[in-house]
Amino acid sequence: AEELRRADLVISHAGAGSCLETLEKGKPLVVVINEKLMNNHQLELAKQLHRDGHVLCCNCSTLVETLQSMDLSALKPFPPGQPEKFALFLDKVVGLQ
């Protein structure tokens, strides 16, 4: 947590926890996709976050090029979570509301 707080840039795999923790802290993120994973759910998350403008996305062979050409000012802030909406939805589903 301390290293993340001090970071100016984070380079990470596309695990949901890693991505969301980084984005919630407002840190620019370069996601490196491991193309060798079978049924690569990380690829789906990385592509969506990239399409939404929140992360830069590359693979191992394009990492250096991505770092050399990146424009961090083009990244959009990640919107804060709204856990209260999920709680209300869950209450409705289980019949508490």
* Domain regions of the chain by residue span: 1-94
Each residue of 22-72: pLDDT tens digit?
A: 999 999 999 999 877 767 778 889 999 999 999 999 999 999 999 999 999
pTM: 0.81
Which one-letter amino acid corresponds to residue 32? V
Task: Output the pLDDT for position 97.
Answer: 61
Give the phi and the psi of residue 57 in degrees, each rounded to 5: -130, 135
The owner of tokens 């209300």 is: 88
Task: Output the pLDDT for position 47.
Answer: 92
The CATH class for the domain spanning 1-94 reads alpha beta
Mean pLDDT (the chain, rounded): 90
Task: Output the pLDDT for position 40.
Answer: 75
Cα gap 58→79, rounded to integer Å: 23
Which one-letter amino acid corresponds to residue 24? E
Burial class (CB in 10 A: 0-12, 13-18, 19+), 47: middle
Task: Output the pLDDT for position 38.
Answer: 65
> Is-contact 56 71, C-beta < 8 A?
no
Cα gap 32→10, rounded to integer Å: 11
